[in-house]
Structure formats: C-alpha cells, structure tokens
Structure 1
C-alpha cells in the first residue's frame, strides 16, 4: 500500500529495497543522489549483500593486461572489466572502452564479488622486498588504502631465486576478504602460507607445506583459492625438464579460506602426456579451467563442472591449432557456451571459436596490450573497506 506524506505518495521502504536491489550498479550510482535516505540505503551492508545475491553471474570477466607502455609514465598494468556479450560481439572496442591503467602496480591477484586485488612491490634490502595490496571496486570507483607490507625473501646468498605466489578470495563464514601468500622459507626449505584479512594490521602465518613448484597465480572458486602445482620436491623447475614421470604429480593446490587448510585436486583422467608448454589454469564461468597442449597439434580445454568432484572434469574443447592459429588460452565464452574467446600465449592476439560450427569466426590484434590472466567478475556495491 502506498502511504501519503505531505501530499505526495511515498513507497514503503521494503518495496524500495526490493526494486533497487534488482538494478545494475551504474543506475544505483545515479540514484544515490535522489536523497540522503537513498544514498544511505544503497551503501547499507545489508542492501549491498542482497544486491550481490541478485546480481547476474557469469556475465562479465576481468582481463589483466601487462606491458602497456607509455613513454611519459613507463610500464603500466591495465584492468578491463568487460561484459562477455559485448566482448564476444566486438572484442577490440569493448576492451578499449573498459580499460583502466594503473601506475606503480605490479600485477592483479584476482577478483572476487566485484573487488579487484592489486599489488605493488619494492626492494627494501638485498634479496628482500615488500609487497602491499589494495582493493578496488571498478563499478563504484572506490579504492582501499594499502595493506600492511609483507616481507619476502626472494633470493639466497647464492643468488638463487625463490618464487612466491598470491591469491585473493572471500571467506563467507566470517564475511571477510583474504589475501593468501605462498612463500619460500629458505632456511627450512619448506613453503609457508601467510594470510591477511581485510582490515587487519598484520599478516598471519597459518601453516607450512612441502616445497614444490606452484605455477601461476591463484584463482578463487567456491570459498577456496587454487593454484596449479607440481608435487616435485623442489623450489625450482623448468617446464621443459618435466618428464612423463612427473605427469601424475601435476595437481591443483587448493586452500580453503574458512578452515585455512589445504588439499590437492587431481587432473582429468586420461592425461597421459606432458604438454609442450606449461598448462594454463584459471576459472571459466565459475568452474576451474585447465587448457593444455595435446601432441603439439591440438588445444584441449577442460572444465571442472562441480568444484572438488574429480569425475566432473568435462572436455570443453579439443581443437586443431590450424583452426585456432595457436590461440590456446580461453578467456570467456557465451552464455550458451557456443562461442569461446581465446588468446595466444603472448596475449596480443585473440580469436573467436564457434563450437557449434567448429570454426574460427574472427581474429583481433591489440597493439601494446598483452593479456596474462582472466578472472570471473561481477559488478557489485561491495566496499573495499572493512565494514
């Protein structure tokens, strides 16, 4: 029922909430200027959660571009939150239209619930550096302050490099955003896990695990952060030295953000050969995704349709490189899964592959843009600050 106040009809608050919770973020950013009441409502944590629950999933992706050079400011990192529909229809225009450049940023460590985790690192002393992250909501334009620094020893006295990896995700049980760092403990020759919760004043060490190579950056799925890894007792490796004896040791290292424990997920059955190049690992439409070379002739893409269920691995693509022109890393696919957008290893060229008709439809080239990672993304009102 519509109530009247001062001669004007006024909708009940619960009806206003119901209507606004279905609207896109862009519209809500305009409507917050209607009144102080609406502005307060739109940024209320309860409304933000409701809006996130009702926001359409698997309609957007976040692309990270590196090696974007500007002679005035040097190298920059580019972030492009893109509509999948627009990206499939017109990749070049869509990316240029959505791209935001960041100076003094080393890389992106993931996207979750509309927040993007960006990092910067700087040397503090010989063999050591400090890393900090901040969160950015592209839809609202709000940016957090930098986190406390994480001290990383990345070389020993023999000048041997020890790589480290990070990932970003959301712990629903504590309503907390967490960054997870996998570091090398050079003294004990093990790896250690450190976690920072948004708003905390320090990083916490949660556990150690055996030293083995972790490949690429972490990807968030179903309350966990996941990395491709080789269960080979070593900090160091070259993919060309990985043999058929190691293929059974290729796993997914999965860290549970709620329990702060880790486990290993297996590869698809029938993976009997070592791919020519290091496999690409990511998330596609909310599912863990593995893309690898087969016999140096085909690109094979697998999806884990149900997280943690190893027999749910499904072969999405098995396409000859002649059709893909060596494009082997899936970035996104249409809602009906008919069209897949892929990029080459270098990331400067893109191709659209139509699964239904088994053909490449269009190829794009982007000058001075190199895509290294793609993340699931949803437009949201979520604040990059601790509530």
Structure 2
C-alpha cells in the first residue's frame, strides 16, 4: 500500500517536526523531496539547528570518517563499524583531515587547496587563497590548522598558522590567518606569540576555541610546552591548565578531543603513552588519566589518538598511526584490533556528526529563503493563497459578525429602551390604574358614606315613623283614657 501523504495522516505539524529531528541526515536529504512543505521545513535554519543539537546531545548520528588511498572518503557508524559507505566526494588527490565541527570537515593539501566538506549532504566548498607569501629560501614550514564554530557570531572559522624556518631549524617568521565562512574571506592576525614544536601540530575545537600544544619562545626546546587556546570570538590567545603528568622523560604531547572534552596525549621515551581527559573545561583538577598504554600492547605510539567511546562507554576507539583502529578496554586495560568491513586500508581517520549545516557564503541559504518567499515558507503559493483566502473569509465573517454584533448590540439597546418604555408605559398604566383605583376608592368611600347616610336616613325615617306611631299610640291611650273617664262618670250618674 502506498504511504499516505503527510497531509492525510492528521498528525500535528509539531509532532512531524519532532520525528524528523530524530532521523539521520541522509534520510532527511531524501525526505526533502516528499513535498515542498517538507523540503522547506527541513531546509530551514531553525530545523537544521534543532536537528544538529539533538544529534550532538545523543551521539546517535556520530560517524567515523576514513580517508581512502584513492582520495575518496568513507563513512561508518562508530557504534558498529560493520560497513562503510563511500561519500562520493570527487577529490583528485589525498587531502589531510584537520578537524570537524557540527558535521563539517576541514580538508587541506596545501595552503591554496583548503576545503570544507559536509559528508551528509555531499557538498563541499573550496576556500579562497589565504595569500600567504612563500619565502622560497626557507628550508621547512611548520603548519597548524584549526576549525570551529563561534556561537556568538553564528560563524564557522578556520585558523591557519604557518611557521617558516631556515636550514638550522631556526625560527624566521610566522603567518597567522583566520577565515570566516560568513564573510568568505581571510583576515591577517598579529604575530603568533609562541612557536610550533612539530612540523604538524594537531589543533582541536572545544568550547568555542581551537586548542594546540605550543612551545615558549622561538626555539624548539624539549621542555616548556603549554596548551594554548585561540578564542574564535575574541580572536585572542589564552593558556589552558595542564594535567599533572610526569615531567620526566616525555618526548611529545598533542591535543585531541573525545566526546566534546579536551584531551592531552603525553608520549614518553620508553614508548609509554598517557591519555588525559579534562572533564570540566578550564578546571585543572578535572583532568583524569583515561588510558595508559605500554609495550607490548602496541608497538608505536607516535600517532595514537582517541576517537570515540563505545556505545556502552566501556571501551575507547583509538586511531593508531593513521592506518589502524584499536579498541581499548577501560576496565580490563586490554586492547583489541577493530576492523572496518569493506575497507582494508586508510590513511586518516576522524569523527563527524551527521548534520545538514550548509555553506551560507555560497548563496545557498539566500536562494532557499528566496524560494520560501516565492512558494510560501510552509507550503506552496496556492496553499498560501488558500490560507489567505480563508483568512480573508474569516475576516469577512468576522466583519459580518462584527456588524451582527453591532446590530445585536443596537437591538439589545433598543430592547432595553423598549423595555424601559414598556416599563414606563406599564408604570403609566399602573399610575392610571392607581389613579382610577384612587378615584374608585373615593367613589367607594362616597358610596360607603352614602350607604351609611342612607342607613341613617332609613333609621331616621324609621325613627320618624316610630315617632308617629308613638304619637298615634299616645293619642289612642289618651282617647282610651277619655273613654274610661266618661264611662266612670256615667256609672256615677247612674
């Protein structure tokens, strides 16, 4: 069954983004073609930085980079070393791997052939000529390359130091340059205040600075070594405290980096080597002796360097003489040879985290930004227009809703006014009723009074009638009395 388009998966954009940040860079390069939306997201600077930070923090995308005899470069997972993949970088000759930072490699063969290479994207950039004059009469040249990242300026920089000596190996002059990827140009620095103790000095990037072992003064003396850091932001030098290594019988030392920590490898004349790790940067007391090797474990320690820890952290992968890899068991203090399937011989080795970091100075990011502006940062123009149409529709609806709200508000106010008027009308009616009731009350009172007066009149009438009756009774009594008196008189006469 064909996979559904991302839009049909109904997954929130932040969940899709979170999933993508966990994938290897090589898969993300393929997923850029899924849709314009995915391509824009994966190419965005915010996503590239988020993916890089997760890869560095987890170590899941850490790769071993090997330079083959033919000039090609190969990549293998540090965790397994089971097979290698050719990176298809078409360099016509061998280049020395000088360092890596955030997925970018610094490769150089001469001062006018310096490249930055991203093995995950297969893209590389040739740096402009640093324009260091070549004094032909000098016998030897000591050289040091450093490569790192300035987080304050968000810029990748290359540090180049060349020291010229005469036939007696006496210091004559030095030239120091710093390249900025952001400006795509070199800058000349003031005179280097130290001298290089070896023809090739390893320079590693830790905490925004490149670190190297130097000698005091202008003479290549066996004593007086220091660790010097060149700050990529301030472009100033400073010393870093050394571990308490044995001062006696040492013949060489070099800086390395292991799991983001500064390392110092000290080689002694009896072919013993100690590897120190600074667990807390800048703190002298944090130096820990991690590895001690002595014959017959390995015959030659001149170019022994740490590469990476194993997945379980119990072993350290070491680069021996640039042509052999060995595992050192930190608990058992034993070594075993590490073989890389598919590659029998190589001439340089290093590590690199998989990333999508571009070369900003070549206009690639600017072109992508222009494309985002044309296509819409999170979709194509049609989708953007559709979204804008939806927005306009929403605004229209909101406008209509605003009008409706206004109408409702007006209606509400009118309703309130009507209610008030109604109440006022009712109040008028009530007043009228009350007035009527008052009048009716008065009428009732009058009627009541009239009724009472009627009763009084009736009573008076009755009383008048009773008075007449009393008069009649009185007259009758008087008449009866007169009749009785007449009868008595008649009887007397008789």
The TM-score with structure 1 as length reference comes to 0.78
In structure 1, distance between residues paired with 2:284 and 2:73: 32
1:149: how far off? 0.7
Q: Please say if residues 275 and 290 of structure 2, whose CA atoms lie closer than 8 Å, have aligned partners that are also in contact.
A: yes
**Mind listing any 5+ residue stretches in structure 1 that lack a counterpart?**
71-75, 88-92, 122-129
Matched, 1:198 2:187: no
In structure 1, distance between residues paired with 2:272 and 2:12: 59
Matched, 1:342 2:336: no
What residue is the counterpart of 1:282 in the other structure?
256
The higher radius of gyration belongs to 2
1:85: how far off? 1.0
| Larger deviation, residues 53-62 vs 197-206 | 53-62
Matched, 1:25 2:4: no
What residue is the counterpart of 1:227 in the other structure?
212
1:368: how far off? 4.2
Cα separation, partners in 2 of 1:21 and 1:106, compared to 1, 3 Å: closer
Cα separation, partners in 2 of 1:280 and 1:217, compared to 1, 3 Å: closer
1:257: how far off? 0.7
In structure 2, distance between residues paired with 1:294 and 1:161: 26
The partner residue of 2:67 within 65, 68, 72 is 65
What residue is the counterpart of 2:117 in the other structure?
136
1:199: how far off? 4.2
In structure 1, distance between residues paired with 2:344 and 2:185: 40
In structure 2, distance between residues paired with 1:86 and 1:380: 19
What residue is the counterpart of 1:116 in the other structure?
105
In structure 2, distance between residues paired with 1:228 and 1:25: 34
1:114: how far off? 0.6
In structure 2, distance between residues paired with 1:341 and 1:269: 24
**CA RMSD of superposed structures (Å):** 3.0
In structure 1, distance between residues paired with 2:109 and 2:332: 44
| Larger deviation, residues 212-221 vs 322-331 | 322-331
1:64: how far off? 4.7
Bigger helix fraction = 2
Q: Show the 5 A alignment for 1:217-256.
A: 217-234=202-219, 237=220, 242-243=221-222, 246=223, 249-256=224-231
Q: What is the number of residues matched between the two proteins?
A: 344
The partner residue of 1:181 within 151, 156, 160 is 160
1:330: how far off? 2.5
Q: Please say if residues 154 and 162 of structure 1, whose CA atoms lie closer than 8 Å, have aligned partners that are also in contact.
A: no
The partner residue of 1:85 within 72, 79, 85 is 79
Bigger strand fraction = 1
Q: Please say if residues 109 and 217 of structure 1, whose CA atoms lie closer than 8 Å, have aligned partners that are also in contact.
A: yes
Matched, 1:332 2:315: no
In structure 2, distance between residues paired with 1:333 and 1:12: 37
The TM-score with structure 2 as length reference comes to 0.62
Q: Please say if residues 145 and 161 of structure 2, whose CA atoms lie closer than 8 Å, have aligned partners that are also in contact.
A: yes
Question: Which SS does the other structure have where 2:142 is aligned?
Answer: coil
Cα separation, partners in 2 of 1:357 and 1:201, compared to 1, 3 Å: closer
Cα separation, partners in 2 of 1:266 and 1:190, compared to 1, 3 Å: farther
1:310: how far off? 2.1
Q: What do residues 132-155 of structure 1 show as CA deviations (whole Å, max 9, x unaligned)? A: 4332211122223x2221123354
